[in-house]
Structure 1
Amino acid sequence: MSTRRKVGLAGAVVGAASAGVAAAALAKRYAVGRIRLRPDLEANEPFGELRGRRETVTTPDGVRIHAEIDGPDDAPLTVVLCHGYCLTLDSWHYQWRDLRESYRLVMWDQRCHGQSGRSEDCSIDRLGEDLALVLDELVPGPCVLVGHSMGGMTIMALADRRPELFGDKVRGVSLISTSAGKLAELTLGLPALVSKVVHKAVPSAVSVMRRSGNLVDRGREAGTDLSFLALRYLGFGDSKSVSPTVVDFVESMIRATPSEVIADFYPALMSHDKLTALDVLNKVPTAIIVGERDWLTPLDHSKAIAAAVPAAELTTVPATSHLVQLERPGVVNDALRELLKRAERGET
């Protein structure tokens, strides 16, 4: 083949590839644009603007944990809200707004997240010890623990390390979109072969994030249409009704989480196994809440928790995914209020 023909062929290939990339980008932009043009009932919701009395507790390994306290100090119970992986205490927006008039609330940023300090110890057991410290220093009376995703795992770690707290200080527990273990086996709803490839690729990606976190973060700073669509697909179930403002709110929390933090916690999540610790929760009223379409901590994981805690109330929320507390806050808040009433009555 002549040089001229080779150059022409190469140019054609590059041109076709460029056209394909441009077409994909245009389609993606069009899809996001259509989503944002839909009526958005949450457009004026003040996400991230609720504030309480700021407190700081310092862990034995020197990490400063940021917390905020709101609600009446003479309330019968304190509700301690433990957020999930890559989120912050602001992810409890609707629960904070709904419960602050009736209950004393303690929201806290888990280590390395939000306004809390960084640490090299990113284990779930350490998070459980942090929660114990929060209870010791910021919760003088009885409380109910509420955990979403990694926050639920934090509660399980506390149950494993400090079982004597349950039934006395801890009067109730809610585990939302969480798992007691085997997260490494997730398929994310993908075909088996594709899921296998993804699981093989993730450790390498995590390694890059750990080694080159600053470079990766610079690429994440502005946010992208792709991250918006991915979050909307993985984090929310009812794609037609979810608020773009809510998606943007969550995406901003995830984007603000340093890449090194994402990488450092990933192995702890994959190796998490606290199924044997769940028996402690039989001492107190327990509410398990999960989205029917949760791909990240699927329904089967909540069913496994419910099997280990037979007295627990399992609420499955239709057409909803991992961020159920933001996607269907009314359903979640109703379940939490029922749990709080049971805890006040001293039920088990």
Structure 2
Amino acid sequence: MESRTRRRVGIAGAVAGAAAGAGAAAVGLRHLAVGRKRLRPDPDAGEQFGELRGRELVVAGDDGLALHVEVEGPDDADLTVVFCHGFALNQDSWHYQRRDLRGRVRMVFWDQRSHGRSGRSVPTRATIDRTGADLEAVLAATVGPDDPVVLVGHSMGGMTIMALAERRPELFARQVAGVALVNTSCGNMAELTLGLPMVVAKAVRPLAPGALRGLGRRAALVERARGLGADLAFVVTRKVAFADRRVSPSVVAFLDDMIRDTPIDVIAEFYPSLIGHDKSAALDVLAKVPALVLVGGRDKLTPAAHGRSIAAALPDAELVEVEQAGHVLPLEYPGVVTGGLRRLLGRVRPESGDTEEERTA
């Protein structure tokens, strides 16, 4: 195959591969938050969101913080895929990939520091560099020093992989056999508009760090307000994170629950590191291995241009762009993400046994 391929996924093809579809409205007041009551059945209503579990273990970061890790598959497998979730989420955000790849490959999922069931970091260590060190600890605890791994990261999880590459570049010549970067960026995060008009974004941007620090200092009050504003939060989540108008209300509610389960002071603590994130130098390290880069054409948080620039810097990268998708491709178009991972695994491990149809799904 060519050293670098590009796939542009149109809306019709993406919908065919994705599990998220048209749905009925969520219960209660969320009928209003969705904007109208959907009349068709919700195919995702019966999904076991947050219920898929593996063998649990606790891994200590190099500062002693307890990281919650789960492993699926035999310890003697010839390849392990390690999933790194995004900001304000947890490992359950990989629900569809976990469900559909079970039994096909050994998988490791973990909650990043201060997220999910991992321990709470001190504020000064709520940084991308520190999550890169955490990923190194997770690898050391779950795979042998020479056992091959594929690293998969969504949003902040992709940044975590870049931080590891900057921290331990030798791993990408010895152990890391491939990487998948989903809805992520290697820098210039301070220039994001979040979908606002540029003039408004420029006015708001300098106020955000101070405002978030203020909210973090009033965490208890803010958390009560978040509970009271659940329906408003639901519609904001849908507008900011998703682009497909037919996305299932169950999927939106699942993402919204993960975000609201993340304490506001954790969000405030990580914000400066996210905005200051610059790991463009790490791309030289990632260029050593096959890569998959997935972007959403309507991503307001890490715009498609960021992913395109990453793919352009990686000589053996497949770029998949879903034109009518937002910031959470693993949930909005899970079939596209899982299909891309199957193709990446086929490139890394051709003897995996996947059929050509599965690798191109």
- Give 1:41 deviation, angstroms: 1.2
Could you tell which deviates more after superposition, 83-92 or 63-72?
63-72
| Per-residue Cα deviation, 1:151-172 (whole angstroms, up to 9, x for no partner) | 0000000000100001321100
How many residues get paired? 319
Partner of residue 20, structure 1: none
- Give 1:36 deviation, angstroms: 5.3
Letter in 2 for 1:79: V
Instruction: State the TM-score, normalizing by the size of structure 2.
Output: 0.85
Alpha-carbon distance change, 325 to 28 in structure 1, aligned in 2, over 3 angstroms: closer
| Per-residue Cα deviation, 1:113-152 (whole angstroms, up to 9, x for no partner) | 0000011211111100000010011122211000000000
Instruction: State the TM-score, normalizing by the size of structure 1.
Output: 0.88
- Unpaired runs of 5+ residues, structure 1, are 1-26
CA contact (8 A) 2:62 2:137 kept: no
Partner of residue 261, structure 1: 266
SS at match of 2:174: coil
- Give 1:186 deviation, angstroms: 0.6
Please say if 1:135 is aligned against 2:172.
no
- Unpaired runs of 5+ residues, structure 2, are 1-28, 352-361
CA contact (8 A) 2:242 2:327 kept: yes
Letter in 1 for 2:159: M
SS at match of 1:289: strand
Partner of residue 208, structure 2: 202
Distance (whole Å) between structure 1 residues aligned to residue 279 and residue 184 of structure 2:
11
Partner of residue 114, structure 2: 112
Aligned with residue 345 of structure 2, among 308, 326, 340: 340
CA contact (8 A) 1:36 1:244 kept: no
| Per-residue Cα deviation, 1:292-323 (whole angstroms, up to 9, x for no partner) | 11110001100111122132111001211100
Please say if 1:314 is aligned against 2:319.
yes
Q: 5 Å matches for 1:251-330?
A: 251-330=256-335
- Give 1:217 deviation, angstroms: 1.0
Please say if 1:58 is aligned against 2:60.
yes
Partner of residue 247, structure 2: 242
SS at match of 2:103: coil
Please say if 1:211 is aligned against 2:211.
no
Distance (whole Å) between structure 1 residues aligned to residue 228 and residue 171 of structure 2:
44
- How high is the sequence identity, in percent, across the aligned residues? 56
Could you tell which deviates more after superposition, 260-269 or 185-194?
185-194
Please say if 1:41 is aligned against 2:43.
yes
Partner of residue 5, structure 2: none
Q: Which of structure 1's runs of 4+ aligned residues deviate more than 2 A? A: 27-33, 35-39, 71-76
Letter in 2 for 1:77: L
Higher relative contact order (CA 8 A, sep 6+): 2
Partner of residue 185, structure 1: 191
| Per-residue Cα deviation, 1:264-288 (whole angstroms, up to 9, x for no partner) | 0000000000001111112111000
- Give 1:200 deviation, angstroms: 3.1
Q: Tell me which protein shows more helix as a share of its residues.
A: 1
